[in-house]
Structure 1
Amino acid sequence: MFESVNLSRSDDLNLSGVELTHRSIKVSIIITLGVIITLGNIAVLLVITSSVAGWSRSSRYFLLSLTAADSAFGLLVMPLNLSVSLLKDYSEGPDLLCHIVAFCNATIYSTCMYTLATISLERYIAVFYPLQYSSLMTRKRTLLLIAFSWCFPPCLLAPITFPDGIIEVHFSNASLVCNPSYSTNVGYSISLTCFIFFPCSGIMTFANLRVWCAAKRQRLKLRKYYCERRSRHNVASRVLVPVMAAYYTCWTPCMAAMIYNAVSGQTVSEWIEFVIVWLPACNGFLNCIFYFWINRSFRRKFHLVLQRLTVSLCPKLAETLGCCNMSKSQFVTVLDNNNTVHGRSSSVSSTCTLISVV
């Protein structure tokens, strides 16, 4: 009898040790991901706050909105959930703090999807309606679209904030996230996907597919009439295909698991839940690569900004490393000349100039 009790206690100690090991690994992954996302988007903000050649004013507004939404993953979502995982007593039931954290998570996720959809819509207008672009994408309409992307999700997700409302919230030890219990209200869970994921995915797929087809037709015409070299890079495939592949890879598993949980009332395994819950945060870092670093004008402006910061903050280090041979006044002149380049009304980024790339 005593031997069986001792064995059960040892099993409990081993189980708790395994859980602590898994928790430490998950916390390390979340912190690393948050640091990468934050640093990547800070670098983007340093460049995009000033004008970049080839980017219009409207495109800069949309990309600033996307950068702010992606930065929220590292600055808001991850710290809040890690704080709850450290402060909350897991024997307690749902509380107001967990409901607020779940509301913030769902709002940031939804805002990112709406922002990606508005960027795809603007690119579609820039490519297919270049002459009407300035009249269609005015400053007022641009700001209204951005405001809709940030204000509509909180209104739609407001029921999550009420502890005694229709949506129950619990803290998941598997994903270290405050998750709504969508199985308690199947209709509301399905409505979230119908109002957020499916419309945004449809707009992105339609817009990017049309732009990709237009670029492909233009490329074939240029190859036919001007004997274009086959070795020339396909800009459409290099930008649009990775953007859509990253979007569906990061967001589809999370939405599928939410629908599966709502319909069947069952959950997936521990590590699968952890991966699919945090995959959308990875999209916040991939956006920095596909929307910014792949653009040549952005890389050039980043080098200028980085050199200017080096000269301003550490002039001795700059002279020692020999990273620049200009004086500070020359740097200011170069940056000012770059800032005076007005973005063409029909050009928002590398994917907006696909038709005129050659």
Structure 2
Amino acid sequence: MYTTLNLSTSADSNLSDYQRLQELSHRSIKVSIIVVLGVVITLGNIAVLLVITSSVDGWSRNSRYLLLSLTAADSAFGLLVMPLNLWVSLLKDYTDGPDALCHVVAFCNATVYSTCMYTLATISLERYIAVFYPLQYTSMMTRRRTLLLIAFSWCFPPFLLLPISFPDGIIEVHFSTASLVCNPSYSSNVGYSLSLTCFIFFPCSIIMTYANLRVWCAAKRQRLKLRKYNCARRSRHNVASRVLVPVLAAYYTCWTPCMAAMIYNAVSGSSVPEWIEFVVVWLPTSNGFLNCIFYFWINRSFRRKFHLVLQRLALAVCPELANTLGCCSTSNTHFVSVIRDNNNSVHERSSSVSSTCTLLTLA
């Protein structure tokens, strides 16, 4: 009898040790993925900030303001969301219940996620107005209204998500060992959870889908006209399909699983499997890196300005290396200064002109 008890106790101990080792292995893999993702997002958005803080050919002042807002929201993924959750995962005892720190971290997570969606919707709206209302663009998208839209994108989400920050509020928050994130328990208040999707995800998705599809259809009609009346333009790249379609595809791929898991958790009261939860929770952060590709690196003017910024950094940081490579010769230095002066002296063009220059035949 005692032998049987000892064997069962030993088997349970071995099983618990194996489970503990497995959990530590999974946790190390998850931490590595989060760190790599955070570094990639941060470096990509730093490169973007180096460029759009100065003037870029073809980008109006309003476009730069909106893209700066998007870059700041994407940078918050790598500079705020990921460090806070990793810090909590190291400090927090997994056996503890909800605490004030976890509520604050969950509030920051939800705020950054929502701000990013609102900013993407604002950019789509601005481009829609620039393309379809070029003559009224200056009066419709003034500097003041653009800044108000940006302020709304950053201020409305914290106001809407404020109940998450209260430890004794209507939303319970627990640290999830599956996703290494302080997750709100949306099943504790189904009505509030569904209202979040109604005020955040669905409106932003409708605006983005409608605006981008309308612009894409207009560009397609123009492309067909060019093929009909000008055979030389048949080899021209379809810029609208190369930018607008990937933007929408990346948006829905990154955000839809997270919203679906949140609604499922709120309605059913149960959570999804461990690795599925980890993927759907952290997948939206990858949109912060994809935005750098679709909104910036595809743009030729942005790439040219980025190369110019790298030349300036090489001349400032390591002039000996630049001299060795022939980058700081008199002619090259004069060329760099001329480009810089031209960029700074050129008056900012209205985005309605730059956005509709390829859609003139629509009239």
Distance 1:211 1:36 in 2: 30
Aligned to 1:335: 340
Aligned to 2:307: 303
Match of 2:239 among 229, 235, 238: 235
Distance 1:275 1:193 in 2: 19
1:104-128 superposed Cα distances (whole Å, 9 cap, x missing partner): 0000000000000000000000000
Distance of aligned partners of 1:260 and 1:352 in 2 relative to their CA distance in 1, 3 Å threshold = farther
Higher relative contact order (CA 8 A, sep 6+): 1
Uncovered stretches (5+) of structure 1, i.e. residues with no partner: none
Distance of aligned partners of 1:20 and 1:352 in 2 relative to their CA distance in 1, 3 Å threshold = farther
Shift of 1:323: 4.6
CA contact (8 A) 1:121 1:204 kept: yes
Q: TM-score, normalised by structure 1?
A: 0.96
Aligned to 2:159: 155
Match of 1:344 among 318, 324, 349: 349
Match of 1:120 among 124, 133, 150: 124
Matching residue's letter, 1:38: T
Question: Secondary structure of the residue that 2:130 maps to in structure 1?
Answer: helix
Distance of aligned partners of 1:146 and 1:348 in 2 relative to their CA distance in 1, 3 Å threshold = farther
Question: Secondary structure of the residue that 1:230 maps to in structure 2?
Answer: helix
CA contact (8 A) 2:69 2:119 kept: yes
Match of 1:175 among 150, 173, 179: 179
Matching residue's letter, 1:59: S
Match of 1:142 among 146, 149, 155: 146
Matching residue's letter, 1:14: Y
Shift of 1:338: 2.0
Match of 1:50 among 36, 46, 54: 54
Question: Secondary structure of the residue that 1:267 maps to in structure 2?
Answer: coil
Shift of 1:66: 0.2
Question: Secondary structure of the residue that 1:179 maps to in structure 2?
Answer: strand
Equivalenced residues, count: 356
Shift of 1:356: 5.5
Distance 2:45 2:39 in 1: 10
Shift of 1:3: 1.3
Uncovered stretches (5+) of structure 2, i.e. residues with no partner: none
Distance of aligned partners of 1:217 and 1:193 in 2 relative to their CA distance in 1, 3 Å threshold = same
Q: TM-score, normalised by structure 2?
A: 0.95
1:252-284 superposed Cα distances (whole Å, 9 cap, x missing partner): 000000001101111111111000000110000
- 1:88 paired to 2:92: yes
Aligned to 1:288: 292
Shift of 1:354: 4.3
Report sequence identity in percent.
79
CA contact (8 A) 2:63 2:351 kept: no
Distance of aligned partners of 1:264 and 1:75 in 2 relative to their CA distance in 1, 3 Å threshold = same
